[in-house]
Chain A
Amino acid sequence: MNKKARPDSVLKTLPADRQGAIAEYALGHTLAETVKWLRADGVHTSSSALSLFLSSYRLSQRLAHNESTVDTLLAKLQGTRPDWTAQQLHEAGQAFFSALAIDAQDADVWTATQRLTLDRDSARTRAEFEREKIDLRRQAEARSQDKLRFEREKWILESCKKILAAATDAKSREIAELNVSDEEKIKLMRQTWFADVDALEKSGEVKLPE
């Protein structure tokens, strides 16, 4: 196609390699940065003009690449269908080109969709992470409750054993028959039969229920 850009279409009139360099630079920079970079090099343009140029340049590059792909396909087709006329090959080429144009766009849509999916997944991951943290906290709390329950059961069992032993023990009978208050008797009984529990509690191995 015979194309001629107006002289005031600054970017379009630059040599092809310069246009390519601008597109390359713009990949890693903002429009404003690229405009500034161009200005430093004596090329004055606006962000909107640059944006249009980049869209047009990138699309033309992609379509040129598609044309090259079609040419390769047509060369192969010509090898298998030597009887086809130039017109038939061109029609096939047009059909390939249209299909590629749609495919390339679908690939872009797919990429954008993937990006959205990733973003969504990231958001989901964050949510799941928070949920997991809450679950872990709940599990730790449940474990702590289980431990407390176990300690209480252990304490009751130990207590029952000691009460049973005390009931048949001479020392216990002796304390029970002392002429002191019940409070004093309990204190003595505790010193006799629960000395090890006190020691255990002090060691921190067992936490007695309050």
Chain B
Amino acid sequence: MNAAQQELFDLAILRVLDANRSRFGLNAEGIGHMLIGFGFGSAKPDDVVDRVDVLARKGLVEEVLKALGAANRAWRITTKGIAIVDERG
């Protein structure tokens, strides 16, 4: 995946998380499946985690309920992430 594709992949992850208006977060497996609706094939959970961690470091997403452990990690989009999605249309 080149830099441009990586950027689109990250944006697709943000769009998936942006669609989640519930009070719960989405896990990597769920995000990976839901990417299908945003121009990507189903992604492996590990690939999603790699990128979500990058997005979290940028403050675009945040992890919820860390106490649940590594196997049950889940994320939701931040206000900064929403701004990026809105900016990109």
Contacts and interface: CB of A to CB of B under 8 A. Distances in A.
Interface of A: 1-6, 8-9, 12, 49, 52, 55-60, 63-64, 66-67, 70, 90-91, 93-95, 97-98, 101-102, 105-106, 108-109
Contacts of B37: 55, 58-59
Contacts of A8: 89
A108 B16 CA distance: 16
A1 B76 contact: yes
Contacts of A108: 33
Q: Size band of the B side of the interface? A: 20 to 34
A109 B33 CA distance: 9
Contacts of B26: 63, 98, 101
A26 B15 CA distance: 20
A91 B74 contact: no
Contacts of B19: 55-57, 59-60, 63
A67 B23 contact: yes
Interface of B: 15-16, 18-27, 29-30, 33-34, 37-38, 42, 64-65, 67-68, 72, 74, 76-77, 79, 82, 86-87, 89
Contact of A94 (B25, B29, B77, B79): B25
A59 B25 CA distance: 14
A94 B20 CA distance: 13
Contacts of B68: 91, 94-95
Contact of A93 (B21, B24, B87, B89): B24
18 contacts: A1-B20, A1-B77, A3-B82, A6-B87, A6-B89, A56-B18, A59-B19, A63-B19, A64-B22, A94-B72, A97-B22, A97-B74, A98-B29, A101-B26, A101-B30, A101-B33, A106-B33, A109-B33
